[in-house]
Structure 1
Amino acid sequence: MDTDVRRAVVIGAGVAGLAAARVLADSFEAVTVIERDTLPSAFAPRAGAPQGHHVHGLLALGAEVFEGYFPGLRAELEQAGAPVWDWGERLCAVLPKGTPPPTPMGMPIQTFSRPLLEHVLRQRVTALEPVTLRDGLTVTGLRTAAPGKVTGVRVKDGDAEDEIAADLVVDASGRSSHLTQWLAALGLPSPRTTTVDAQIGYASRTYTYPEGAAQPSWMGVLQPLRAPDFRKGCYAIQIENNALHVTLHGAGGTQLPHTDDDFLAYATTLRSPVADTIASLTPTSAVRRYARTVNRKIAYHRLSRWPDGLIALGDAVCTFNPAYGQGMTVAALEVRLLEQMLGNRRGRTPLDGRVFQKRLARVTASSWLMATTPDRAWGKSGSAWPVQAGNWFMNRLIDTVPHDPQLYTAFSSVFHMIAGPQALAAPRLLSRVLIGPRPGASRSAIMS
């Protein structure tokens, strides 16, 4: 066996890192996953993922990709209590111009907490023979044989320092990645970083239903934000353990709740049915706030030099405002790219990291545009005309959706990434968007 491709190291045991380890286990003799946090034995939020306290969504395409890598994952999550439901039938989407009526789409969605998903993925990945997970260990830098070749990582465990050799290092350490500094230490130029910050904040908590209590007809509630007028919103989903997970959104300087009373009071200002539901439920968590919602893209793909033996993926490269629910699905697509490139190598030649970063940039491009176009509208300085045109079209589309089931289905397919944006360019759908909501069309009733 070629000794150049025997060992891999993955930095980060989040969703992206675990999925990467799963794919690497098919091509490497040994895969070491390094996690800074001390991981819980059961599923629980971890310090390194504060967003784990907030509502997460796995889009339909992401669920398909993960099921391919972890056969039976959906059934295992369902056995743990994570419900499966049809997006069109059971989502209560409270949009500016109305709420679409229940519309069967044959689009199964599964809802769960992020800690449950990470726990199940950790169990699956660590059961793989090549994989070793080392938690409570901090990566402090890259191990190199020369400026152009990475040969592992330097780590720190308490006061003790060590090195772990690897033929491929994968940075999946998320928003807290130190890769730009590590590359600078190797003499590489700083990559361009682009940020789009809508300054959106979240406040979340979970509730449980009393024994035998009637539950609402919906499984999820979505009331999106929209600049400049709709500054409050929410996303609520039913998850494992008969629980309701509620995240309240605020933009444009909106003050988010801190206390129990504030949380309910904020919910009552929304048009969604969330307040009526949680008023009679028992809270099972404190109110948790979160404000790291900036979209950030690091242009590693534009560096003229890239060291051998290194790649980066997930939030370490491109992060999205979590309100759009794209992060885990995009990570799945990036890992699928990794699998494809590993499979397309000649023999067991090393992975070309520079080519991987270029192709990864294409994987993230459409999701970046979908997230940043509406977020740029919150800027005080105004947006360029392409952004204004994109937002006009998107707003027109969303305003028409409540009154057009076919358009609602097409839009949902694009939102869940099982169809590309071109699906909305079909002439019969495009004309409906351009015409807009029919004059006098009644506002759809909100699901109770």
Structure 2
Amino acid sequence: MDGYARRAVVIGAGMAGLAAARVLADGFESVTVVERDRLPDSAVIRAGAPQGHHVHGLLARGAEVFEGYFPGLRAELERAGAPVWDWGEGLCAVLPNGTPPPVSMGMPIQTFSRPLLEHVLRRRVAALAGVTLRDGLAVTGLCAAGPGKVTGVRVRGADGEERIGADLVVDASGRSSHLPRWLAALGLAEPRVTTVDAQVGYASRIYTYGEGWQTPPPWMGLLQPLRAPGFQRGCYAIRIENDLLHVTLHGAGGIQLPRGDEDFLAYAKTLRGPAADTIAPLTPVTPVRRYARTLNRKLACHRLARWPDGLIAMGDSVCAFNPAYGQGMTVAALEARLLERMLRGRRARAPFDGRAFQKGLARLTASPWLMATVPDRAWEGPRSAWPVAAGNWFMNRLIDTVPHDPRVYTTFSGLFHMTAGPLALTDPRLLLSVMSGTRRPAKPHA
């Protein structure tokens, strides 16, 4: 270990922060994870993660990366009751042009609540040598030796204020990050911010199905996506640990989301799929929870002319997606892998190149950003630029072909789960199927 890699501080104990801490533990003498919330000792929702009330998905690519960093993670989650199933066989996808029949894809998916995954990962990270989790501390700013060098963080807790020194500070504090303000306090420019807001809202609750179903449904996950302009209502439901069904109802374009028992079921009855019939006999175990912070937000940190040594930012602090697409946790895992590669490639005793990391992160997030924002921009209507309109035209044709072509369904699933790249769309046979396939979209249900 060289003299540089001594102390690291990670701001935030969410998915991105825990993944970063796992990577840093291999190369730093000490890693301190600073979290504003009081961290629970069990799998319960913490105050700083209000989206924890809603359905979360770990894409196949993300599951692979996390399993590599935490061997036996999938088995541990399975022992806690989180089911494992094949995406093609276990998903009921209610698409505008039909529902694809089950097809084996060899793509194992595991479904669970976010609190369970976060609890297991937090326990694993806390057990790593040299890692310390400190909760109840709010980061109030960066410590610096001039504008070009970050040397730690200032924090405030119940015992007052203190400074925590570090050779590398990782901002993984999520959507609530104060990174632009911190950079401005160092005399540096603030990064340009790009937002795309489809004004999508969620309403979620959890049901127990252990005794409510005489015969459980043939699916493990139910997906009915939104699509501009006509499909303003949708849902995502998954079977999770403890014989529970987690249901999230989606709405866009000003749709009023349910607030209580009766209107939750009434909303589900407006959907074309089996959501209403599934939940009608079940017993809810949580109240209805609503959430509306779903805009896509990206900071162009990679375009700043000056970036301080000793600082990097990752996760939702830099690039946050509409959670409807389920990309956040997987992208956080891939960003941690980028950090690992750059730490291993760094010359001995050389400072970590934070600016190069931000450029690499921008390249890594470019594709998932397009996957989320192209359909979301479609809600802007006629104002959409022609590249957005063209992208949506192609994606809609692709999705409309999915119910009728297992090969297209498998390819699209690989794109969705990030196990395949955009080049998969250039296959001539796939293009022929997409451009000539059946095109009879269903009308949105009133």
TM range (shorter): over 0.9
The aligned amino acid for 1:114 is R
Structure 2 distance, partners of 1:29, 1:242, is 42
Structure 2 distance, partners of 1:428, 1:397, is 13
* Cα deviations by residue, 1:115-142 (Å, 9 ceiling, x for unpaired): 0000000010000011000001110000
Conservation of the 8 A alpha-carbon contact between 1:154 and 1:162:
yes
The aligned amino acid for 1:197 is D
Structure 2 distance, partners of 1:36, 1:307, is 24
Deviation, structure 1 residue 57: 0.5
Conservation of the 8 A alpha-carbon contact between 2:235 and 2:250:
yes
Moved more, 344-353 or 208-217: 208-217
Deviation, structure 1 residue 272: 1.2
Q: Which stretches of structure 1, 4 residues or more, deviate above 4 A after TM superposition?
A: none
Structure 2 distance, partners of 1:421, 1:106, is 20
State the partner residue of 2:238: 237
Moved more, 245-254 or 143-152: 143-152
The aligned amino acid for 2:57 is G
The aligned amino acid for 1:245 is H
Conservation of the 8 A alpha-carbon contact between 1:140 and 1:155:
yes
Which SS does the other structure have where 2:379 is aligned?
coil
Conservation of the 8 A alpha-carbon contact between 1:210 and 1:282:
no
Deviation, structure 1 residue 214: 2.7
Structure 1 alignment gaps of length 5 or more? 444-448
TM-score if structure 2 supplies the norm length? 0.97
Structure 2 distance, partners of 1:79, 1:40, is 20
Conservation of the 8 A alpha-carbon contact between 1:5 and 1:349:
no
Structure 1 distance, partners of 2:19, 2:330, is 11
Structure 2 distance, partners of 1:210, 1:6, is 50
- Identical amino acids, percent of aligned pairs: 76
Which SS does the other structure have where 1:151 is aligned?
strand
Which SS does the other structure have where 1:430 is aligned?
helix
Deviation, structure 1 residue 158: 2.7
Structure 2 distance, partners of 1:16, 1:351, is 19
Deviation, structure 1 residue 3: 3.4
State the partner residue of 1:132: 132
RMSD between superposed Cα atoms in Å: 1.3
Deviation, structure 1 residue 438: 6.3
State the partner residue of 1:397: 398
The aligned amino acid for 2:140 is T
State the partner residue of 1:299: 300
Structure 2 distance, partners of 1:210, 1:282, is 9
State the partner residue of 2:29: 29
Change (3 A) 1:358 1:112: same
Structure 2 distance, partners of 1:323, 1:18, is 22
State the partner residue of 2:44: 44
State the partner residue of 1:446: none
Structure 1 distance, partners of 2:55, 2:233, is 16
Structure 2 distance, partners of 1:190, 1:346, is 29
State the partner residue of 2:117: 117
Conservation of the 8 A alpha-carbon contact between 2:167 and 2:310:
yes
Paired residues for 1:288-437 under 5 Å: 288-380=289-381, 382-437=383-438
Structure 2 distance, partners of 1:187, 1:424, is 45
Deviation, structure 1 residue 2: 3.8
State the partner residue of 1:98: 98
State the partner residue of 2:10: 10
State the partner residue of 1:78: 78
Deviation, structure 1 residue 368: 0.3
Structure 2 distance, partners of 1:179, 1:379, is 29
Conservation of the 8 A alpha-carbon contact between 2:53 and 2:205:
yes
The aligned amino acid for 1:430 is L
Deviation, structure 1 residue 168: 0.2
Structure 2 distance, partners of 1:226, 1:2, is 52
Structure 2 distance, partners of 1:280, 1:310, is 52
Deviation, structure 1 residue 381: 5.3
The aligned amino acid for 1:371 is A
How many matched pairs? 441
Structure 2 alignment gaps of length 5 or more? none
Structure 2 distance, partners of 1:350, 1:26, is 17
Conservation of the 8 A alpha-carbon contact between 2:193 and 2:298:
yes
Conservation of the 8 A alpha-carbon contact between 2:3 and 2:349:
no
Structure 1 distance, partners of 2:339, 2:301, is 16
Which SS does the other structure have where 1:63 is aligned?
helix
Which SS does the other structure have where 1:229 is aligned?
coil
* Cα deviations by residue, 1:156-209 (Å, 9 ceiling, x for unpaired): 013601000000000000000001101000111111000000000000000001
Structure 1 distance, partners of 2:273, 2:55, is 16
Structure 2 distance, partners of 1:339, 1:123, is 21
Structure 1 distance, partners of 2:122, 2:366, is 29
Structure 2 distance, partners of 1:412, 1:117, is 23
Structure 1 distance, partners of 2:161, 2:340, is 32
Conservation of the 8 A alpha-carbon contact between 1:297 and 1:319:
yes
The aligned amino acid for 2:302 is H
Deviation, structure 1 residue 380: 4.5
Conservation of the 8 A alpha-carbon contact between 2:97 and 2:439:
no
The aligned amino acid for 1:31 is V
State the partner residue of 1:192: 192
Deviation, structure 1 residue 96: 0.4
The aligned amino acid for 1:223 is Q
* Cα deviations by residue, 1:257-278 (Å, 9 ceiling, x for unpaired): 0011110000010011111111
State the partner residue of 2:165: 165
Structure 1 distance, partners of 2:382, 2:303, is 28
Conservation of the 8 A alpha-carbon contact between 1:92 and 1:218:
yes
Deviation, structure 1 residue 215: 1.4
The aligned amino acid for 2:235 is C
Conservation of the 8 A alpha-carbon contact between 2:33 and 2:133:
yes
Deviation, structure 1 residue 365: 0.2
Structure 1 distance, partners of 2:97, 2:344, is 48
Structure 2 distance, partners of 1:397, 1:3, is 53
TM-score if structure 1 supplies the norm length? 0.97
Structure 1 distance, partners of 2:371, 2:402, is 17
